[in-house]
Amino acid sequence: MYKPNIVVITGHDAYFKNKNEKYQNSDFFIKAVLKAREYEQSQDKLIIIAGACQSNYEELIKAGANFASSPKRVNIHALDPAIVASSIAFAPRNKEIDLIPLLEKTKYGTDGMGGIITNGTMYVGFPR
């Protein structure tokens, strides 16, 4: 049976313009995403939301995250990953998530979070 899981990998990160090591913790988030993808390659069966303030968005998406922060290297709100996760969890599983309205629910919108088209995960039955 199709049972999607949602994983949120977050914490603290920072982007430094003038240092050799540009990101404080992005490498750890990327390694965690890659490790999770070793166990489940399908982005429909395992939905990963990764990153934190100013994380390396492009590399997180390349590693296999469905959603990541921070496309514009801005500080995100601590609840932004939870907003994305709960929106996916409560959307019907046979319905694609409309990315722009979802990301606009977060504090900085598409500057703070981005992602790929993903289906919801909730089974809907009637009557309720």
| Residue 123 lies inside a defined structural domain of this protein | no
pTM: predicted TM-score of the whole model, two decimal places: 0.91
User: Residue 53: its pLDDT value, please?
Assistant: 95
Q: CA 126 to CA 128: how far, in whole Å?
A: 5
- Residue 53 within any structural domain of the chain: yes
Domain assignment present for residue 32? The answer is yes
Structural domain harbouring 70: 5-115
Kindly tell me if the per-residue pLDDT of 126 is higher than 80: no
Q: Residue 27 burial by CB count (10 A; 0-12/13-18/19+): exposed, middle or buried?
A: middle
Residues 2-9, mean pLDDT to the nearest whole number: 84
Question: First and final CA of the chain: distance in angstroms?
Answer: 22
- Domain for residue 122, yes or no? no
Whether 111 is in a domain gets the answer: yes
Query: Is 38 inside a domain boundary?
Result: yes
Of 89, 19, 7, 83, residue with least CA distance to 54 = 19
The answer to whether residues 7 and 48 touch, using CB atoms and an 8 Å cutoff, is yes
Q: Indicate whether 121 belongs to any domain.
A: no
Q: How confident is the model over 61-105, as pLDDT tens digits?
A: 999 999 999 999 999 999 999 999 999 999 998 899 999 999 999
Residue 47: per-residue pLDDT: 96
Domain count, the chain: 1
78 occurs within a structural domain: yes
Say what the pLDDT of residue 1 is. Answer: 54
What percent of the chain has pLDDT above 90?
84
